[in-house]
Amino acid sequence: MNNDIIQSLYDRKSVRVYEDRPVEEDVKQAVLAAAIQAPTAGNMALYTILDITDQDIKEKLSHSCDNQPFIATAPVVLIFCADYRRWYSVFRAQDEHTRAPGMGDLFLAQADAIIAAQNAVVAAQSLGLGSCYIGDITEHFEYHQRLLKLPQYVVPAVMLCMGYPTMQQREREKPRRFETADLVHENGYDEEKAAAMHRMLSGLWSLTGDALDERLRRFRLRKWDSAFSEEMSRSCAAMAKHWCGNPEEQKETL
């Protein structure tokens, strides 16, 4: 079954090289307006979108987000932050004994932010823009907090780079996906399906035997046993600790 929307989901792929021309302001505003049409828990919009227009900040992000130079060349850089600050400040203004945001609120706000980001991705695609998520924005929390002036109850969830794709990027093949049936379990987690990971990888990478093993080894070293992923775990733990920190200490800024 197919239609225009489903086809656009199949056609979308990450774009990391952009034409050297700006994204028109009305196009960017259309993407931002579409982002906030996303579903949001309780219609609370538990996020803030940082529109990074300062080249110096883009350069800094290109280093702090695992040294990815294309971030500095992206005409549009958006950081979707989980944000409970606005709501907590009005709750607290009504009742100073109201509870402080906890981990559940952080998870919910992260979900809100990421769902809005995906709306932006789909909207951008429909307007001829290419985009790429940058998960590394959750690394170096303390640095990003200072760089982006993030107060308590505002933490980065994902970053998006956007711009018009070069011809090479338009023609680049989209990476294959796992099979739907391998990722969908009926009525509960199916350990047997999960145990088929080697077969799933063999299909994804079109490799078998030693070649598959070697590809998996290299993938593990790049994506798992790597400095960036250790830093991401450290940084996210610091983020969670900060989020759940004593609001009394932050009171004067709320």
Ligand X SMILES: Cc1cc2nc3c(=O)[nH]c(=O)nc-3n(C[C@H](O)[C@H](O)[C@H](O)COP(=O)(O)O)c2cc1C
Provide the binding-site residues for ligand X, judged by CB under 6 A. 13-14, 16, 68, 132-136, 158, 174-175
Least spacing, CB of residue 191 vs ligand X, in Å: 25
Judged by CB, which is closer to ligand X: 91, or 133?
133
Least spacing, CB of residue 68 vs ligand X, in Å: 6
Structure tokens at 190: 């199916």
Alpha carbon distance 187, 190 (integer Å):
9
Cβ proximity of 109 and 47 under 8 Å = yes
129 conformational bin, left if phi > 0, alpha if psi -120 to 50, beta if neither: beta
Judged by CB, which is closer to ligand X: 67, or 208?
67
Judged by CB, which is closer to ligand X: 8, or 29?
8
Look-up: residue for tokens 């579409």? 34
DSSP 3-state of 14: strand
Chain-centre distance of CA 77, in angstroms?
Answer: 12
Alpha carbon distance 38, 31 (integer Å):
12
Judged by CB, which is closer to ligand X: 112, or 136?
136
Least spacing, CB of residue 15 vs ligand X, in Å: 8
Chain-centre distance of CA 239, in angstroms?
Answer: 15
Q: Which residue is nearest to ligand X (CB)?
A: 135
Least spacing, CB of residue 3 vs ligand X, in Å: 20
Least spacing, CB of residue 124 vs ligand X, in Å: 13
Judged by CB, which is closer to ligand X: 50, or 100?
50
